[in-house]
């Protein structure tokens, strides 16, 4: 009987089996508890470091470069504008200018009279840098008192207020409107030639040959439709004998106190009528010596 009791006393050793009590050890496994360490991974916390990366800080430099580039372009544009304005003033003075016909001495090739809407002509200032004026050329020249003392030109100014405004604007870019010493006539004879008037048909003679001048006009208000006799006159080398197309109303190389003009006085060749608009066109520069009347 005593042995049996000892058997029952040994049962509590089964209640203290370590298997059930080992579960807490499983609860402390590292896998679940490692989650906090994942939350402290460096990748998410590195975002502030990305915010301080140098790439975004280059934007001010790029903006500065863009600003400098705009300034360079603006400077170049300004330079182009200034050069253009300079050329507008220089080129007309060297190449072409506009002149107002000062009198009626070139009627009806060119129209001009006191108080009228006179023609404005474009004068080529470059052509005579490469060649000398030829017979038939309509030229603008300057003849002061040391060259001519007799002239029909009066410096009365422009009557049209609109044209006066254009003249004012034009003078700022080299478009020239003549003073009282600027003349426009036609070349009849050049240096070395002998000119006189007239033959039996009232024609001018150069080197013994009568000229064919389809542009000649006689003003009814100026008297008889005939040319005045003169000459013979031998034109000195380096000079030009000039006459107006309006032969009975032009004071030119025929007039006392005038005579031939020096080549140095020539400003250029009149090529176009540019105003008034209804008279726009080329200016006739027929060489009267190239078509003698006897050959027609």
Could you report the per-residue pLDDT of 145-182, keeping only the tens digit for each?
777 887 776 544 445 565 556 555 554 444 555 555 78
Phi, psi of 173 (to 5 degrees): -120, 25
Give the residue numbers annotated as catalytic, written as ranges: 105, 185
Phi, psi of 99 (to 5 degrees): -125, 150
Could you tell me the pTM of the whole model? 0.63
Mean pLDDT over residues 119-143, rounded?
92
Q: How confident is the model at residue 53 (pLDDT cuts 50, 70, 90)?
A: low
Share of the chain above pLDDT 90, in %: 38
Tokens standing for residue 287: 């060489």
Residue 229 has pLDDT above 60, yes or no: yes
Dump pLDDT digits (tens) for 278-295: 999 999 999 999 864 445
Tokens standing for residue 142: 């300057």
Burial of 194: CB neighbours in 10 Å, binned 0-12, 13-18, 19+: middle
Mean pLDDT over residues 21-32, rounded?
42
Share of the chain above pLDDT 70, in %: 62
Query: What secondary structure does DSSP assign to 41-105, as a single string?
Result: -HHHHTHHHHHT-SSGGGHHHHHHHHHHHHHHHHHHHHHHHHHHHHHHHHHHHHTEEEEE--SST
Between 116 and 210, the more confident residue is 210
């Amino acid at each position: 009987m005593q042995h049996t009791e000892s058997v029952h006393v040994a049962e509590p050793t089964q209640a203290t089996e370590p298997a059930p009590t080992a579960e807490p050890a499983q609860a402390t496994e590292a896998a679940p508890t490692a989650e906090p360490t994942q939350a402290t991974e460096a990748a998410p916390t590195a975002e502030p470091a990305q915010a301080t990366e140098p790439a975004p800080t280059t934007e001010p430099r790029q903006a500065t470069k863009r600003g400098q580039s705009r300034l360079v372009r603006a400077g170049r544009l300004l330079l182009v504008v200034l050069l253009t304005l300079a050329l507008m003033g220089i080129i007309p003075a060297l190449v072409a200018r506009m002149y107002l016909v000062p009198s009626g001495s070139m009627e009806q090739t060119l129209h001009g009279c006191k108080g009228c809407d006179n023609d404005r002509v474009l004068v080529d200032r470059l052509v005579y840098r490469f060649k000398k004026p030829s017979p038939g050329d309509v030229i603008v020249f300057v003849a002061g008192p040391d060259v001519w003392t007799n002239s029909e030109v009066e410096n009365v100014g422009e009557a049209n207020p609109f044209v006066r405004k254009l003249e004012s604007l034009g003078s700022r870019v080299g478009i020239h409107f003549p003073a009282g010493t600027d003349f426009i006539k036609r070349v009849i004879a050049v240096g070395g030639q002998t000119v006189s008037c007239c033959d039996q048909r009232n024609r001018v003679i150069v080197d013994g040959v009568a000229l064919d001048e389809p542009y000649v006009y006689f003003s009814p208000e100026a008297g008889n439709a005939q040319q005045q006799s003169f000459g013979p006159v031998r034109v000195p080398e380096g000079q030009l004998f000039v006459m107006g197309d309006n032969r009975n109303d032009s004071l030119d190389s025929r007039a006392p106190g005038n005579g031939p003009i020096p080549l140095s006085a020539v400003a250029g060749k009149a090529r176009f009528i540019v105003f008034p608009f209804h008279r726009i066109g080329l200016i006739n520069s027929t060489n009267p010596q190239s078509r003698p009347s006897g050959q027609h």
